[in-house]
């Protein structure tokens, strides 16, 4: 029996049993559709967590000096330790960080992108080696400027998102795009605070100009060049020698555990709170979507069982017809192939319809979310991610479920005894 003849015969058989075929394919479509929907949802939410909420770079390791505890004095993160970290063969680069250790505040009174704004804010600042943020700098250089020039500052993309989705709507302030923010200058007073008594020395008045936005910038504060932070700390007569932390860049992601182990050996603390938080939330999303995916697979199994039951009944009803086909030249393999091909067609149709249905439902859910869900930080344009592998996998699962369901009936059909079924 040729493939063309097989297809022609399957087409004839499916057409005459259209009603039954529709219900079988519907069962497969239900299982495949829900599977594609939930897997896409899991992938989409996971993507938001990885790329927007916690943009954790797998190559980066954050180290910090360990805190003083009973029995130990901790390890200060000085240049000597930095040099030892740099010497590790797995480390591609080390970027030092130093908190501005004097209080800082901003008094803003003027036009804020078309709206009047009068505000006083305590400001956190951290200085970093310029290389860490180089890729995100959009305006000028990220280096310590002359005293009369504004200090280049980088703000967190996540902070801008929180401002746009929470702060700005609550205070009737304009929402800002990244490009709009770059170039914005605001006053800052180091060694000055509304709540902390002023430290030794007099306030250092300056300006900070936003020169870029970065995922690597301090979330709740401003990131400035390391040399500026050292200068401000020296002027404030506070520690300007030891670093608050360092970002290590691994040569390869699989070398990160080695670097972590080496840093711990040096008495340093690994600051992986964000990574752990991202992993925890990611795990929760994975567990939830896995449960829903299992439910979908169960629907597929039920669809396969339904196909098996229906095809068993069909094979019984078509026993004489099968005998007739055998009498005119059908082999057992031909009969088996006919039944399996019919199931494949049902699975293919069900899988394709289910996958298309899921895509339609995803589109609808995104549209409804865009229209009816309130704006919130990190709200994605789409909650779903449907790569080709998921779509093709969905169709494939439909076929597999149908073929598995048809396997036993096809064997029974092939075992039909034509002499018995054709006896008058």
Partner 1 sequence: MISAHRLFKSYPGTDKAEVRVLEGLDLEVAEGEFVAVVGPSGSGKSTLLHILGGLDVHYSGEVEVARTKLQYLSDRRLARFRNRQVGFVFQSFHLVPNLSVLQNVLLPAFFGAESIDKSDHRRADELLERVGLLAKRDRVPSQLSGGERQRVAIARALLRRPRVLLCDEPTGNLDLQTGDEIIALFRQLHREGLTVLAVTHEERISGAAERVLNLRGGLLVNSHQSQELER
Q: From the CB of residue 376, how many other CB atoms can be counted at a distance below 10 Å?
A: 10
Distance CA 174, CA 48 (A): 25
Our finding on whether 402 is near partner 1 (CB under 8 A) is no
Q: Mask 275-314, x = binds partner 1 (CB under 8 A)? A: ----------------------------------------
Strand partners, 250: 91
**Minimal CA–CA distance to 127: which of 237, 239, 205?**
239
Our finding on whether 415 is near partner 1 (CB under 8 A) is no
Our finding on whether 22 is near partner 1 (CB under 8 A) is no
Closest CB to partner 1 among residues 330, 349? 330
Our finding on whether 16 is near partner 1 (CB under 8 A) is yes
Closest CB to partner 1 among residues 324, 400? 324
CB 37 within 8 A of CB 407: no
- Figure out which of the listed residues 57, 320, 370, 392 binds partner 1, where binding follows CB under 8 A: 320
Distance CA 113, CA 97 (A): 31
Helix (H, G, I), strand (E, B) or coil at 298: helix
For the chain, the first-to-last Cα distance in angstroms comes to: 28
Distance CA 355, CA 372 (A): 25
- Figure out which of the listed residues 79, 327, 364, 368 binds partner 1, where binding follows CB under 8 A: 327
Our finding on whether 18 is near partner 1 (CB under 8 A) is no
Distance CA 335, CA 142 (A): 75
Our finding on whether 317 is near partner 1 (CB under 8 A) is no
* Structure token digits, residue 288: 């939830």
Q: Give the shortest CB-327-to-partner 1 separation in angstroms.
A: 5
In terms of Cβ atoms closer than 10 Å to its own Cβ (0-12, 13-18, 19+), residue 361 is: middle
- Figure out which of the listed residues 321, 360, 389, 392 binds partner 1, where binding follows CB under 8 A: 321
Helix (H, G, I), strand (E, B) or coil at 275: helix
Q: Give the shortest CB-310-to-partner 1 separation in angstroms.
A: 17
Stretch that binds partner 1, among 245-253, 280-288, 328-336, 402-410 (CB under 8 A): 328-336
Our finding on whether 422 is near partner 1 (CB under 8 A) is yes
Our finding on whether 1 is near partner 1 (CB under 8 A) is yes
CB 38 within 8 A of CB 411: no
Stretch that binds partner 1, among 187-195, 300-308, 321-329, 404-412 (CB under 8 A): 321-329
Our finding on whether 9 is near partner 1 (CB under 8 A) is yes
Our finding on whether 371 is near partner 1 (CB under 8 A) is no
- Figure out which of the listed residues 106, 255, 332, 382 binds partner 1, where binding follows CB under 8 A: 332
- Figure out which of the listed residues 111, 148, 381, 424 binds partner 1, where binding follows CB under 8 A: 424
- Figure out which of the listed residues 287, 368, 373, 419 binds partner 1, where binding follows CB under 8 A: 419
Distance CA 46, CA 98 (A): 32
- Figure out which of the listed residues 74, 331, 370, 392 binds partner 1, where binding follows CB under 8 A: 331
How many residues contact partner 1, by CB under 8 A?
28
Our finding on whether 2 is near partner 1 (CB under 8 A) is yes
Stretch that binds partner 1, among 88-96, 264-272, 356-364, 415-423 (CB under 8 A): 415-423
Helix (H, G, I), strand (E, B) or coil at 391: helix
The pairing of beta strand 151-156 with beta strand 204-214? parallel
Our finding on whether 330 is near partner 1 (CB under 8 A) is yes
Complete edge-to-edge strand list for the sheet that includes strand 245-250 = 115-122, 104-112, 185-190, 204-214, 151-156, 222-225, 125-128, 91-99, 245-250, 60-65, 268-270
Cα–Cα distance list, 238 to 100, 103, 231, 330 (Å): 9, 11, 10, 93
Stretch that binds partner 1, among 167-175, 257-265, 325-333, 357-365 (CB under 8 A): 325-333
- Size (the chain), residues: 424
Our finding on whether 326 is near partner 1 (CB under 8 A) is yes
Q: Give the shortest CB-414-to-partner 1 separation in angstroms.
A: 9
Q: Give the shortest CB-405-to-partner 1 separation in angstroms.
A: 23
Task: Give the contacts of 370 (CB within 8 A, at least 6 positions apart).
Answer: 381
- Figure out which of the listed residues 110, 170, 328, 371 binds partner 1, where binding follows CB under 8 A: 328
The pairing of beta strand 268-270 with beta strand 151-156? unpaired
Stretch that binds partner 1, among 181-189, 191-199, 207-215, 332-340 (CB under 8 A): 332-340
Backbone angles phi, psi at 51, to 5 degrees: -95, -25
Binding residues for partner 1 (CB under 8 A): 1-2, 4-5, 8-9, 12, 16, 320-321, 323-334, 417-419, 422-424
């Amino acid at each position: 029996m040729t493939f063309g003849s097989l297809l022609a015969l399957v087409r004839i058989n499916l057409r005459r049993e259209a009603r039954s075929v529709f219900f079988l394919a519907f069962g497969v479509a239900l299982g495949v559709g829900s599977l594609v929907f939930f897997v896409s949802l899991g992938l989409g939410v996971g993507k938001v967590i990885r790329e927007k909420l916690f943009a954790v770079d797998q190559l980066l390791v954050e180290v910090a000096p360990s805190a003083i505890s009973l029995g130990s004095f901790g390890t200060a993160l000085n240049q000597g330790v930095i040099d030892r970290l740099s010497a590790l063969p797995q480390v591609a680069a080390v970027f030092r960080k130093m908190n501005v250790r004097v209080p800082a505040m901003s008094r803003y009174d003027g036009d804020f992108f078309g709206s009047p704004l009068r505000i006083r804010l305590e400001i956190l600042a951290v200085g970093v080696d310029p290389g860490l943020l180089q890729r995100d700098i959009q305006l000028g250089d990220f280096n310590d400027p002359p005293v009369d020039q504004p200090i280049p500052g980088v703000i967190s993309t996540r902070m801008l998102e929180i401002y746009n989705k929470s702060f700005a709507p609550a205070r009737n302030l304009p929402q800002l795009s990244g490009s709009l923010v770059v170039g914005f200058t605001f006053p800052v007073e180091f060694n000055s605070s509304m709540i902390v008594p002023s430290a030794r020395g007099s306030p250092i008045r300056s300006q900070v100009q936003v020169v870029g936005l970065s995922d690597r910038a301090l979330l709740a504060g401003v990131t400035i060049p390391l040399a500026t932070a050292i200068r401000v700390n020296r002027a404030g007569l506070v520690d300007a020698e030891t670093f608050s932390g360092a970002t290590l860049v691994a040569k390869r992601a699989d070398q990160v555990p080695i670097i972590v182990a080496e840093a711990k050996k040096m008495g340093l603390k690994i600051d992986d709170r964000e990574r752990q938080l991202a992993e925890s939330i990611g795990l929760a999303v994975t567990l939830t979507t896995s449960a829903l995916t299992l439910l979908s697979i169960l629907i597929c199994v039920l669809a396969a069982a339904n196909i098996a039951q229906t095809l068993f009944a069909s094979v019984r009803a078509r026993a004489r017809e099968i005998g007739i086909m055998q009498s005119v030249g059908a082999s057992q393999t031909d009969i088996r192939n006919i039944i399996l091909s019919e199931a494949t067609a049902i699975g293919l149709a069900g899988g394709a319809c289910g996958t298309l249905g899921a895509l339609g439902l995803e589109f609808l859910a995104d549209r409804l979310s865009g229209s009816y869900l309130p704006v919130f930080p990190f709200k994605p344009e789409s909650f779903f991610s449907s790569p080709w592998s998921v779509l093709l996998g969905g169709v494939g699962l439909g076929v597999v479920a149908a073929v598995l369901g048809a396997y036993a009936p096809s064997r029974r059909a092939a075992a039909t005894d034509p002499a018995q079924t054709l006896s008058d």
